[in-house]
Amino acid sequence: MSEPSKVVFQVMWNRLISIVEEQAQALVRTAFSTSVREAGDLSAGVYNDAGEMLAQAVTGTPGHVNAMADAVGHFIRRIGRDTMAEGDVYITNDPWEGTGHKHDITVVTPSFHRGQLIGFFACTAHITDIGGRGFGADANDVHEEGLYIPIMRFADKGAVDQTLLAIIRGNVREPDQLVGDIHALATCNEIGHRRLIEMITEFDLGDLTGISDFILTHSRQATLDAINALTPGVAEGQMRIDGYDRPIDLCVKVSIEKDRIVTDWEGTSGLDKKGINVPLVYTKAYACYALKCAIAPEIPNNAASLAPFEITAPVNSIVNAVHPAPVALRHVIGHMVPDTVYDALDKLLPGLAPAQGAGCLCNFQVSLRPRMDAPAPEDAVRAEVLTFNSGGSGARATLDGMSATAFPSGVMTMPVEATEQVGPVVIWRKELRPDSGGAGQYRGGLGQYMSVGAREGHEFDIQAMFDRVDHPALGCRGGGNGAPTTIARGDGTAMKGKGKQFVPHGGRVDMAFPGGAGYGEPQERAREAVRRDLALGYITPGFATEQYGMTQEDIDAVLAQAKRGEEF
């Protein structure tokens, strides 16, 4: 029999993954912002003493994947390994050394065992407000986007920095939420640390060296095997999207080589004046995520499994923005990265990648306040309410797209009932949007309608963060395009897809979020599937006639059956 330690290492690797899942769960349970506790916009991971990531919780945010993997190295460099002590907790919201914008707070905690530094825990969460102009696209540089917290100590040997807390409290709109969230981040690292020490004690280890080597060696090899099983080749992909007030071209070249896949963004548009620029860490995260989904979905994320995916982009292209570019809404373009990569990958590995989808999340934030045009009622309040919503995903080579489902992001929406508990906001409508999924042999996922207003006595600003107003998701292999985004006031006047816009007392904003694109020629779609789409109201009679050539007689028959509540 060979060494039983092989089995023990397997057990410990499983344990580390379980520890980071537990760490993430603790964050959800203790966080204050709905973005964290309801939507799961967070991540958590464990690192060896060199700052290499060993395991990461599978949470809602591929965007944090690579960024978090790199972050701990920055912390070690800035804080200084020699000055680290038990009870320390470090913090930052640096877009370039954290996860891409100031609204993500990253907290890192060193793990000590018998007085020796053996590793780190890190976690990141998207918080509701960090001051400045608020969460939106309007800033002209990063300084307008809110309070900057450089990499620094949040707690020094257990003592929380009260000066820092006072500065934070004085600079943000929801100080209780933010301070509560920072405590939650520190708590979740602490819980991870406790479990790690239990594991080390149980297996009688001095440090993480052995298990770290085991994880990284196996992951590297598995990733290389997956890459080397592909036929080498080079292909280019493009996507044009709205941008802030001029269109943005995303251009990528994907090269499958021995032992690596290189993704180069040469040719992509330059920086934008407004806050939709993307730090490279975030571009890397989503490019890498897209490739991992397609090529190596089962290999857990860690330093070694991510390393063979190399991502480069020209400095100050919009996907490699450097300080002081405004970056608050880096997710809008970041979320378009996977479909751009897939445009190239589809030429190398046909049939693997989906058609284009809605791409970026359809988020908006409302800042409510007592009406100012007339006396407001006594109980009127100020509140910041952030919502995450999704359009449709693109159809796959053998499957319809998913309706109102996030891709590539994995965050959840907030329940409307929970959102309306946060502030005096009213969501009047949140439901699927018929005809928005591109026609095809496989249909794109549907987008959704939403309408938002305020309770009596309030007015508000809405921060729109939408794309695909002018550039819908494009169909694949003959499939139709997804429907574009629309946004308008209650009276039908169009509004802008991005930026802060005022809505007076009694006003309402009606939004329609984009659908995913179709895959394959519509006439190839199974007739039963078309009938079902019509019966369930995923498409209207007009769409059924135009796209699928359904006869009026057929349509009437299906609708009559649907009205009787029959199954399809």
Partner 1 sequence: MGQAGTRLGVDIGGTFTDVVLERGGAWFSTKVLTTYGAPEDAIIDGMHQVCAKAGISPEEIGQIIHGTTLATNALIERRGAKTALITTEGFRDVIEMRTESRFEQYDLNLTLPAPLLPRNRRYVVRERLDARGDVLMPLVRADVEALVDEIGAAGYESVAVGLLHSYVNDAHERLIAEVLAERLPDILVSLSSEVSPQMREYERFNTTIANAYIKPLMASYLGRLRARLADEGAECPVFLMHSGGGIMSLESAAEFPVRLVESGPAGGAIFAADIAARHGVEKALSFDMGGTTAKICLIKSQTPKTARVFEVARTYRFKKGSGMPISIPVIDMVEIGAGGGSLAHVDGMNQIRVGPESAGSEPGPACYGRGGDKPAVTDADLVLGKLDPDNFAGGSIQLHAAQSAQALEAVIGTKLDMDATEAAFGLAEVVDENMANAARVHAVENGEDLADYTMIAFGGAAPLHAARLCEKLGVGRLLVPEGAGVGSAIGFLKAPFSFEANRSVFMRLAAFDGSAVTALFAEMEAEATAFVRSCDAQAAISAEHRVYMRYAGQGWEIPVSLTAEQAAKPDAATYQALFEAEYKALFGRVVDGMGIEITVWSVNAFTAQERADRVTESAPAAPPQASGTRALFDPAKGAVLQADVVERGAFAAGAVKAGPMVITEAETTIVVPQSRSATAHADGTLDVFVQEKTDV
- CA dist 60 and 34 (Å) reads 13
Question: Which strand (E) or helix (H) includes residue 20?
Answer: helix 5-30
Q: Which is nearer to partner 1, 195 or 330 (CB)?
A: 195
Among 80, 115, 492, 565, binds partner 1 (CB under 8 A): 565
Site for partner 1 in 406-465 (CB under 8 A): 406-407, 410-413, 415-418, 420-421, 426, 428-432, 448-449, 451, 455
The smaller minimum CB distance to partner 1, of residues 317 and 389, is found at 389
Using CB under 8 A as the binding rule, whether residue 506 contacts partner 1 is answered as no
Q: Please, which residue, 267 or 370, has the CB nearer to partner 1?
A: 370
Q: By CB under 8 A, is residue 196 in contact with partner 1?
A: no
Asked if 528 interacts with partner 1 (CB under 8 A), we say no
**Whether 440 contacts 396, CB under 8 Å:** no
With beta carbons less than 8 A apart as the criterion, state whether 254 and 237 touch.
Answer: yes
Burial letters for 277-290: b for 16+ Cβ neighbours within 10 Å, e otherwise?
bbbbbbbbbbbbbb
**Does 483 help bind partner 1 (rule: CB under 8 A)?**
no
Rule CB under 8 A: choose which of 102, 103, 195, 468 binds partner 1.
195
Which residue in the set 166, 167, 494, 536 belongs to the binding site for partner 1 (CB under 8 A)? 536
By CB under 8 A, is residue 197 in contact with partner 1? no
Q: Which residue has the tokens 């995923």?
A: 538
CB 452 within 8 A of CB 425: yes
Question: In this structure, is the dihedral angle defined by the CA atoms of residues 484, 441, 295 and 120, taken in order, positive or negative?
Answer: positive
d(CA 344, CA 337): 11
Q: What number of other Cβ atoms are within 10 A of residue 268's Cβ?
A: 23
We find the least distance from the C-beta atom of residue 522 to partner 1, in angstroms, to be 21
For residues 85 to 114, the per-residue mask of contacts with partner 1, x marking binding by CB under 8 A and - elsewhere, is: ------------------------------
Pick the binder of partner 1 from 32, 121, 265, 519 (CB under 8 A).
32
Which region, judged by CB under 8 A, interacts with partner 1, from 90-98, 275-283, 317-325, 531-539?
A: 531-539
- Least separation in angstroms between residue 14's CB and partner 1 is 5
Selected binder of partner 1 within 396, 458, 471, 531 (CB under 8 A): 396
Site track 150-179 with partner 1 (rule: CB under 8 A), x = hit: --------------------------xx-x
The CB-of-470 to partner 1 minimum distance in angstroms stands at 24
**What are residue 13's phi and psi, to 5 degrees?**
-60, -45
Residues 2-31 that bind partner 1 (CB under 8 A): 2, 4, 6-7, 10-11, 13-15, 18, 21-22, 25-26, 28-31
How far does CA 300 lie from the centroid of its chain? 18
The rounded distance, in Å, linking the Cα atoms of 287 and 194 is 34
What is the footprint of partner 1 within residues 287-326 (CB under 8 A)? 292-294, 296-299
Which strands form 42-48's sheet, in the order they lie side by side? Answer: 53-56, 42-48, 116-126, 104-113, 89-92, 152-156, 159-160
Q: Cβ of residue 157: shortest distance to partner 1, in angstroms?
A: 15
Question: Which 209-238 positions form the footprint of partner 1 (CB under 8 A)?
Answer: 218-219, 221-222, 225-226
Ranges within 37-76 binding partner 1 (CB under 8 A): 37-38, 40, 58, 60, 62
Nearest approach, Cβ of 176 to partner 1 (angstroms)?
6
Rounded distance between C-alpha atoms, residue 121 and residue 317, angstroms: 32
Give yes or no for residue 354 binding partner 1 (CB under 8 A): yes
- Phi/psi of residue 401, each to 5°? -70, 170
CB of 566 to partner 1, least distance (A): 8
Task: Rule CB under 8 A: say whether 540 interacts with partner 1.
Answer: no
Helix (H) or strand (E) holding 557: helix 552-563
**Binding status of residue 513 toward partner 1 by CB under 8 A:** no
What's the CA gap between 48 and 207, in Å, rounded? 9
- Say if strands 53-56 and 89-92 run parallel, antiparallel, or are unpaired: unpaired
Q: Is 462 helix (H, G, I), strand (E, B) or coil?
A: strand
